[in-house]
Structure 1
Amino acid sequence: MAHPLRLDLLELLTAAGPATAAHCGRVLEVSQASCSFHLRQLAKYGFVEDAGPGRDRRERAWQVPGPRREMRIAVDDSSDGGPALERIVVEREAQAILDHVGRRDAGSVNWRQKAGVMVTAVALLSADEAAELREQWKALLAPYVARTEKDSADRLPGQRHVRYFMAATPLPAFESGDSGHESEH
């Protein structure tokens, strides 16, 4: 998973439904061959599957198997895999935010005015409270995510796929005498 194009392909197939490597290449502005290679790698590990022949019957279409999976990045200090993937996901999300902020078309300005680009806050939480807040955030988004998984024919005018990204990053300990480590008691 530690390749940005693989994440882009998963996002595209999740949002748009089944697509061929050629279609993915056009949308993502990368070569069809590169998309084909990465789609086969994703299929090898069960992240995508063959959706049958494409519209012209010469290419296969790919899809995300249902039900949709939530990607969890295991925190494992013994390997570089988890932190490397975390870094790629964060860089990718940050770039998507910057790309959105840089767009000045009428649609993006309208969305910025109504939905805003971000909400930022600093809150005093324990690790357990942070976990609870994360679960509440996921529960709040759940009905909209479920609607996304339905057929796009049900889409109402003005609806678009919207990327949400939550990151909880504990600040360094500011109080004197606080080492930043939690007590084990």
Structure 2
Amino acid sequence: MTTDEQHPQTPPMTDPQVLRAMTHPVRLRLYELLVAEGPATAARLSRYVPVAPGSLSYHLRTLAACGFVLEAEGPGTDGRERWWRAVPGGMRFSSADFAGSPGGREALAAAQRVLAERRAARLREWEAGGPARWGEDWADAAVSYDGLLRLTPDELREFGTELDALLERWGDRTRARAAAGTTPEPDTEQVFVIAQAFPFEGGTEG
């Protein structure tokens, strides 16, 4: 078995049908749960996603066909249980891959709407009750930033490359902990990161 087979990564999405399949809200939630909580069955996942286990099994098979989950060994002895685990790497796609056809543009627009609403919903949840739930330390550590930069397209690409490298470095720390099998520190929690940068017409400066 090659190293790539032992440690697969999610494939970049270039097919509009795959993009549509992966940005289904239920599938997004299932993938997130498997990333966060580890291997699980459809029955276990149904505790967190209010969908019948039979329907969740269909969604999990779709995720597997797209390369985002794999079957996993379960901790029990019941061979009838089908366990699944997330493939690391997350969702990766470039808007340019979908700009050449009406179907591609429609799939991209639909995916962007779903992802934007998911990000906005998480931000609303945090703002509505996050500080009270997580406490003063987390409220003080949380990051909220927006600002305007004047950049060329090449500079914006450079900015994105540097931001990717920063996120990858911190992602490596998380993956190293998981690979070592170490128990997370008591004050470690999952942190949701949103980073977007795009042209904006905000009026004349000065």
TM bin (shorter chain) = 0.7 to 0.9
| SS of residue in 2 equivalent to 1:49 | strand
Residue 50 of structure 1 and its aligned partner are, at CA, apart by 0.3
**CA RMSD, Structure 1 to Structure 2 (Å):** 2.3
Name the residue aligned to 1:12: 33
* Inter-partner Cα distance in structure 2 for 1:129 and 1:43: 37
Name the residue aligned to 1:69: 89
Match of 2:146 among 101, 117, 120: 120
Contact 1:73 1:86 in 2 (8 A): no
* Match runs of 1:15-164 below 5 Å: 15-53=36-74, 55=76, 57=78, 58-65=80-87, 68-75=88-95, 76-77=98-99, 78=101, 79=104, 80-104=106-130, 105-107=132-134, 109-116=136-143, 118-149=144-175, 150-151=178-179, 153-164=182-193
Number of equivalent positions: 173
| SS of residue in 1 equivalent to 2:71 | strand
Task: Give the gaps of 5 or more residues in structure 1.
Answer: 176-185
Residue 31 of structure 1 and its aligned partner are, at CA, apart by 3.2
Name the residue aligned to 1:180: none
| SS of residue in 1 equivalent to 2:48 | helix
| Residues 55 and 119 of structure 1, relative CA distance in 2, 3 Å threshold | farther
| SS of residue in 2 equivalent to 1:62 | strand
Q: How high is the TM-score relative to the length of structure 1?
A: 0.81
| Residues 74 and 27 of structure 1, relative CA distance in 2, 3 Å threshold | same
* Inter-partner Cα distance in structure 1 for 2:29 and 2:70: 16
Residue 54 of structure 1 and its aligned partner are, at CA, apart by 5.3
Identity value in percent: 33
* Structure number with higher helix proportion: 2
| SS of residue in 1 equivalent to 2:191 | coil
Contact 1:15 1:148 in 2 (8 A): no
Residue 32 of structure 1 and its aligned partner are, at CA, apart by 2.4
* Inter-partner Cα distance in structure 1 for 2:73 and 2:50: 23
Greater relative CO (CA pairs within 8 A, separation 6+): 2
| SS of residue in 1 equivalent to 2:193 | coil
Residue 171 of structure 1 and its aligned partner are, at CA, apart by 0.7
Name the residue aligned to 2:6: none
Task: Give the gaps of 5 or more residues in structure 2.
Answer: 1-21
* Inter-partner Cα distance in structure 2 for 1:33 and 1:13: 17
| SS of residue in 1 equivalent to 2:121 | helix
| Residues 166 and 44 of structure 1, relative CA distance in 2, 3 Å threshold | same
Name the residue aligned to 1:170: 199
1:3 aligns with 2:24: yes
| Residues 102 and 108 of structure 1, relative CA distance in 2, 3 Å threshold | farther
